[in-house]
Amino acid sequence: MSDIVEIYDLRKAYDDGFEALKGVTLNIKKGEILALLGPNGAGKTTLISTVCGITTSTSGSVKVDGHDTVSDYRAARSMIGLVPQEINLEPFETVMSTVRFSRGLFGKPKNDVALENILKQLSLWDKKDTQIRALSGGMKRRVLIAKALAHDPRVLFLDEPTAGVDVELRRDMWEIVAELKADGVTIILTTHYIEEAEAIADRIGVIAHGELLLVEDKDKLMARMGKKQLTVQLSKPIKKLPARLKSDALVLASDGASLIYTYDTRAERTGITKLLSDVAAAGLVLTDIETSQSSLEDIFVDLVKEDAA
């Protein structure tokens, strides 16, 4: 897949000297969904704002579909839609006039059929003549997306699209994002909800202190860094691990009723067969076994912790 966004060694120091981006290099593939994760203040919004030309970079370069965002600003910007974190809509405008105005800002010819399609896709068509002030918070968020899509961008940036929205709307948003991807739109979103990245992203980027700690295919990341645990339930609790079972990978649960074995899913030998035969040889009777895999959240917390250390 070709790259639609190429970010090279991007740096941003704010006027007070604070370096919010410390040389970010990142290529975004056409048609993918990339989720950027990072703790508060990591630089996610700064990165998006710089790529979209709202904030100027100190050095480095950004190209969108081959257009440099500084020397070829208009062409680059017309490829991009931005859904900001904050709701910045005119309360007395109607939904339709809001999106029409936004399309006009990019110098695109009037095309109410295209706008109708966007509003229908976002379940806003029946609200087209409603003033923004009369919409619920969730609908306003949809209008922000409609507005960002009004000039037919090929790349959509969503800055915390589901911050503070209820679970149902969050799931609606995920569906909208999936539909946009099916239409060939490339999507970059920032989120604090790791569950969200896990649910919809193709690739995950992790940012901390203005640096990109990693960017990797979600499934590969989870397979590479994910650990699995096997829990063995014992028929009777025990006070301590029998000597033959002692290993760094095995712990006795605090209630003594189960053994917890951590293993690497990529290892040639997981050690499970040996563990189970050692358990039997130690005279322990097991009543149940269960496995669980660490989540993206566990991986993320470990990564950010390692970075801080």
Ligand X SMILES: Nc1ncnc2c1ncn2[C@@H]1O[C@H](COP(=O)(O)OP(=O)(O)OP(=O)(O)O)[C@@H](O)[C@H]1O
What phi and psi, each to the nearest 5 degrees, are found at residue 123? 55, 40
Binding mask 169-208 for ligand X (x = CB under 6 A): ----------------------------------------
Q: Shortest approach of ligand X to residue 19 CB, angstroms?
A: 8
Angle (deg, nearest 10), helices 112-121 and 137-149: 140
Taking the least distance from each CB to ligand X, the nearer of 14 and 101 is 14
- Which range binds ligand X by CB under 6 A, 15-23, 75-83, 104-112, 295-303? 15-23
Would you count residue 101 as binding ligand X (CB under 6 A)?
A: no
Would you count residue 86 as binding ligand X (CB under 6 A)?
A: no
Would you count residue 44 as binding ligand X (CB under 6 A)?
A: yes
Binding mask 46-85 for ligand X (x = CB under 6 A): x---------------------------------------
Would you count residue 18 as binding ligand X (CB under 6 A)?
A: yes
Would you count residue 45 as binding ligand X (CB under 6 A)?
A: yes
Phi-psi region of 189 (alpha: psi -120 to 50; beta: other; left: phi over 0): beta
Question: In which residue are the tokens 């609790």 written?
Answer: 237
Would you count residue 43 as binding ligand X (CB under 6 A)?
A: yes
Q: Shortest approach of ligand X to residue 42 CB, angstroms?
A: 4
Would you count residue 88 as binding ligand X (CB under 6 A)?
A: no
Rounded Cα distance, 264 and 33, in Å = 28
Taking the least distance from each CB to ligand X, the nearer of 2 and 40 is 40
Would you count residue 40 as binding ligand X (CB under 6 A)?
A: yes
- Which range binds ligand X by CB under 6 A, 33-41, 122-130, 214-222, 275-283? 33-41
Q: Shortest approach of ligand X to residue 84 CB, angstroms?
A: 11
Which residues lie below 8 Å from residue 203, measured CB to CB, with a gap of 6+? 29, 32, 33, 34, 35, 215, 216, 217, 218
Q: Letter for the amino acid at 308?
A: A
Identify the burial level of 95 via C-beta atoms within 10 angstroms of its C-beta, where 0-12 means exposed, 13-18 middle and 19 or more buried: buried
Q: Shortest approach of ligand X to residue 144 CB, angstroms?
A: 16
Measured on CA atoms in the order 153, 137, 34, 19, is the torsion positive or negative?
Answer: positive
Which residues lie below 8 Å from residue 47, measured CB to CB, with a gap of 6+? 7, 10, 21, 24, 36, 207
- Which range binds ligand X by CB under 6 A, 43-51, 130-138, 194-202, 278-286? 43-51
Taking the least distance from each CB to ligand X, the nearer of 99 and 304 is 304
Q: Shortest approach of ligand X to residue 219 CB, angstroms?
A: 25
- Which range binds ligand X by CB under 6 A, 13-21, 89-97, 268-276, 300-308? 13-21
Q: Where are the beta strands (DSSP E) in the chain?
A: 3-13, 19-29, 33-37, 59-64, 67-68, 80-83, 155-159, 186-191, 203-208, 211-217, 227-234, 250-252, 258-264, 286-293
Taking the least distance from each CB to ligand X, the nearer of 153 and 205 is 205
Which of 14, 10, 6, 34 minimizes the C-alpha distance to 23? 10
Taking the least distance from each CB to ligand X, the nearer of 41 and 91 is 41
Would you count residue 41 as binding ligand X (CB under 6 A)?
A: yes
Enumerate the β-bridge partners of residue 189.
35, 158
CA distances from 254 to 115, 150, 204 (A): 60, 57, 35
Which of 197, 171, 112, 107 minimizes the C-alpha distance to 146? 112
Would you count residue 16 as binding ligand X (CB under 6 A)?
A: yes
Applying CB under 6 A, the residues found at the interface with ligand X are: 14, 16, 18, 20, 38, 40-46
